[in-house]
Amino acid sequence: MANLHISLPESLKEFVKEEVAEGGYGTPSDYVRSLLRQAKEQKLRRQLDQALLASLETPAEEVTSEYLVELRREVREVISRKRPKSL
């Protein structure tokens, strides 16, 4: 695991210590990692919400047999690119 050193004012340092003691975190690093995971999840949720809202603004595409054939082809293509090549 990589290290990242940050500087905090004394008030925030004390706050982190309190949160570690009260929140059941083993170390200040555990607490900060938890906060970063939460921030990352929130960002992903916002991005997903934006994508969903944008999709609502696009016209629906009719699902035909040709559409499904093309969709399957695209999915197979993506899967084949992600599979490791055999030796």
Q: Alpha-carbon Rg of the chain, whole angstroms? A: 23
Mean pLDDT over each residue of the chain, to the nearest integer: 92
What average pLDDT values come out for the chain (87 residues) when binned by 10 residues? 94 97 95 97 96 89 92 94 72
pTM of the model: 0.62
The size of the chain, in residues, is: 87
pLDDT tens readout for residues 34-49: 999 999 999 999 999 9
How far apart CA 17 and CA 13 sit, in angstroms, is 6
